[in-house]
Chain A
Amino acid sequence: MTQIEFLNIVTPFKDKVFRLAKRLLVSTEEAEDATQEVLIKLWKNKEKIQEYKNVEAFSMTMTKNYCFDKLKSKQAQNLKIVHSNYEDKQTPLQKQVELNDSVNWVERIIEDLPEQQRMIIQLRDIEEYDFDEIAKMLDMNNTAVRVALSRARKTIREKLTNTHDYGIK
């Protein structure tokens, strides 16, 4: 397989890989690194790519696993420096201004969701995969996906309603 053939396969979904990675890792730089890593892994296994029925779903699963590993090692690191971490916890002024933008507020709400719900919101409401595909990517069953999705949507709506009604931001 040549580089061009490979890029033709990968290009339609590489943005989706990136967005899923960003949903999980939050930071753009880390999401970019994760995407590169996933694509390089695919390239190294390019001989096997033809055997996979659905390269895209396979790549999304790979992305999920890679990000989970990253998050795990990050948590381990945070534990080590917990006592020397005197970072200013207050949200910077710049961020506060951004939060007033209600669309960014949605992003913050999703960020607070559990990882699984975040992924499902990403895959369904943003990437618009059908339930069977999501179930396969996340190694869950169809109903579990629906339940988690419903929970996530209700949480988002509740928080948005609160914000809307009381102006809590």
Chain B
Amino acid sequence: MIMVLNNIEKLLEKYDNGETTLEEEHVLKNYFTSDNVAPHLEMYKPMFTYFLANQQEKFTKDVPLKTKRKIDYKWISVAAVVLLMLGFYFGSSFNNELGTYDDPELAFNDFSKSMEMISQKLNKGTATVGYLNEVNKGTSSLGYLNEIENTTNIIFKK
């Protein structure tokens, strides 16, 4: 018992000087949390008790680790790019199917057909323009009005 006490007192001195090893500090902690602490050393008791008790304090809150939002933005941009690429790809391929002929003869036939149609429609249009000649006739007859004006001028001068 006295041996133990001697040892503890020596350790306490080393402890105060910051020279104890972790093992020696364990010995102290064990001694001072036991029931048979020497009366003249009792003031150390709350200290070592506190150290051991404080080790038990836990962090209980959740940690909000945000990952989903970041990944969402990434994938949205990827999706947008994919959509754009698809758009270009299909857009250009549709044009190819509608706008070109592989057989030149067929192309010529279709071309002349459509040109014929255009000229027919154009002729219809020009036919109605023919009426404009009548208007011209009308205006030429208005030329007689000038003669009348000449004669009236002569009369009023005199």
User: CB distance A147 to B18 under 8 Å?
Assistant: yes
Would you list which residues of chain B between 52 and 92 have a CB under 8 Å from chain A? 53-55, 57-59, 61, 63-65, 67
A32: chain B residues at CB < 8 Å are 59, 61
Chain A, Cβ-Cβ closest to B17 = A150
A130: Cβ under 8 A from any B Cβ: yes
Please name all residues of chain A whose beta carbon is closer than 8 Å to the beta carbon of B57 when the two chains form the complex.
15, 18-19, 22
Apart from the given pairs A10-B63, A35-B61, A128-B25, 7 other A-B contacts in the complex at a CB distance below 8 Å: A35-B59, A40-B64, A126-B54, A127-B55, A149-B18, A150-B18, A156-B47
* Given the contacts A15-B57, A36-B64, A40-B65, A160 and B43 also touching, CB distance less than 8 Å: yes
Query: Smallest distance from the beta carbon of B50 to chain A beta carbons, Å?
Result: 4
Q: By the criterion CB–CB under 8 Å, are B53 and A36 in contact?
A: no
B18 surroundings in chain A (CB, below 8 A): 145-147, 149-150, 153
Interface CB pairs A-B, < 8 A, 17: A18-B59, A36-B61, A39-B63, A103-B49, A103-B53, A106-B47, A106-B50, A125-B25, A145-B18, A147-B18, A150-B18, A153-B15, A154-B16, A156-B47, A157-B16, A160-B43, A163-B43
A98 interface residue per 8 A CB criterion: no
A interface vs B, CB < 8 Å?
3, 6, 10, 14-15, 17-19, 22, 32, 35-36, 39-40, 43, 102-103, 105-107, 125-128, 130, 145-147, 149-150, 153-154, 156-157, 160-161, 163-164
Return the contact of B51 from the options A35, A36, A126 (Cβ within 8 A): A126
B54 and chain A: residue at smallest CB distance: A126
Distance A14 CA – B17 CA, assembled complex (angstroms):
30
Say what secondary structure dominates the interface of chain A. Answer: helix
In the complex, chain B residues whose CB is within 8 Å of the CB of A150: 16-18
Q: Which residues of A contact B44 (CB under 8 A)?
A: 157, 160
User: In the complex the two chains form, is A19's CB within 8 Å of B43's CB?
Assistant: no
Interface SS of chain B: helix, strand, loop or mixed?
helix
B67 contacts which chain A residues (CB < 8 A)?
3
Which residues of chain A are near B42, meaning CB under 8 Å?
Answer: 164
State whether the Cβ of B9 lies closer than 8 Å to any Cβ in chain A.
no
Q: How far is the CA of A51 from the CA of B25 in the complex (A)?
A: 33
Q: For residue B61, which residue of chain A has the nearest CB?
A: A32
Contact A126 B43 (CB under 8 A): no
A-B pairs, 6 with minimum CB distance: A18-B59, A150-B18, A164-B43, A102-B46, A106-B50, A146-B18
